Structure 1
Amino acid sequence: AAARKFAIETVVFVNAEIKLIKCIVNGILVDLSANTLGALAPVRFFDLVDEACGKNHLFKRSVIVLKAWSTYESRILASHQSLLSTYALQVMLLYVINVNHDSIHTPLQALYLFLQTYSDFDWETYGISATRRFQVL
């Protein structure tokens, strides 16, 4: 087989709790980590969320759309730059889908309701979890 060549660009080491190497391989953003067993629990959790949500992997497809919007349009996704983490974004989306499950059937509907929910959210008074909004102290 012919050897494949990969164009690797913009390599960045992220010295966070879970160490990452971020790079672009053939135009695709890639995060690499190793020896991070603790990182597997959230992956499994969100996989179970996707199974419970159903609707042809609505949660996973919505995460992809939301991450694209967050990265390329709003530029709010980059935890290594003190912006939102992927985990935070997924919990925020999970709240939106839990509250609106019956009316969300496509990733664009999920994005719309995500934007509608958080565009004027009072973060000084409330916080969110996967299932509810709560008052902060």
Structure 2
Amino acid sequence: MATRTAEERRRAEREAYDAYLASCPARQVLDRISDKWVSLVLNALGDGPLRYSGLSRRIAGVSQKMLTQTLRNLERDGLVSRTLTPSVPVRVDYALTPLGESLLPIMHAAKTWAETHIQEIHAAQSTYDQNPPRP
């Protein structure tokens, strides 16, 4: 019986993840990145580091509570870094980590797709609403 190296065991464990299974931890990641505020924050930080106030101005409609919660979750997940600069007042900058940068092309593509196809979505919704399916 051949023994496996630690790297082979880790690779087998990674391959065992299946997001279709309720117990798969990858579902937590999918839940996180499917949030609209997460998408907008990651896209905004894709242009470079921003202060909290810069993010708040850039992302119209986000409440202080949601922006703070989103940033904390992204920092916890290792997607965003928070840097404090001692000054008066204290300066806090948020930036994408390398892990966050690896997710940026996907988030940017989803944002671009939504912006490109919104008229088609509205037309489909209008058609559906005029002729809803019958039970």
TM-score scaled by length of structure 1: 0.22
Larger radius of gyration: 2
Q: Which has the higher helix share?
A: 2
Which one has more relative contact order, counting CA pairs under 8 Å at least 6 apart?
Answer: 2
Q: Which has the higher strand share?
A: 1
TM-score scaled by length of structure 2: 0.23
